[in-house]
Amino acid sequence: MTGETNLTTLLKTMQPILHPDIYVFITTTQPLATLPLSTLQPQMLFQEDEGLTVITTKTIAEAHGFNDSTFPCRKISLTVHSSLEAVGLIATIATKLAESGISTNVVSGFFHDHIFVPAGMEEKAMRVLEEYSK
């Protein structure tokens, strides 16, 4: 199960879905072992020199006292099983969204790619992405 690598196939079959929650990016210098991951429900964790980046819903972040979050956004998941070695999918999508004035923060999971776009831009982003499957 390595996923699809053909760019044309990936674009035609990506089938984006929009998730209903508002997500935010937070950062903390708390050690990972001290974070309540089961209730924080991170969509992503990434360790940087300055601290740990966490993506979670705005509601959950605030419930855990993270009131200084940034980038309120919506998550669009591409349902196609893309290979981690696929070439050009994210570049193609990011370029097309940029041409439409939409910033993107992309997270690639083992099976799917997830695009975080600014809250309020999600419908426009969905239209741009859905054009590929026509």
Beta partners for 74? 117
Domain for residue 24, yes or no? Answer: yes
Both tokens of 73, joined, read: 């956004």
**How far apart, in whole angstroms, are the C-alpha atoms of residue 3 and residue 58?**
31
| CATH number of the domain residue 32 falls in | 3.30.2130.10
91: containing domain: 7-133
**pLDDT, tens only, 6-39:** 999 999 999 999 999 999 999 999 999 999 999 9
Task: Read off the amino acid at residue 4.
Answer: E
**pLDDT, tens only, 90-119:** 999 999 999 999 999 999 999 999 999 999
By the 8 A CB rule, do 116 and 23 touch? yes
Element of type H or E holding 12? helix 7-13
**How far apart, in whole angstroms, are the C-alpha atoms of residue 59 and residue 13?**
32
**How far apart, in whole angstroms, are the C-alpha atoms of residue 7 and residue 78?**
13
Q: What is the pTM of this model?
A: 0.94
Domain for residue 1, yes or no? Answer: no
By the 10 Å C-beta count (0-12 exposed, 13-18 middle, 19+ buried), 67 is classed as exposed
Domain for residue 87, yes or no? Answer: yes
By the 8 A CB rule, do 81 and 108 touch? no
Domain for residue 37, yes or no? Answer: yes
Kindly report the backbone phi and psi dihedral angles of residue 81, in degrees, each rounded to the nearest multiple of 5, phi listed first.
-80, 95
- Label residue 1 by pLDDT band (50, 70, 90): low
Written as one string, the DSSP assignment of 32-43 is GGGS-HHHH--S
The domain tally of the chain equals 1
Domain for residue 2, yes or no? Answer: no
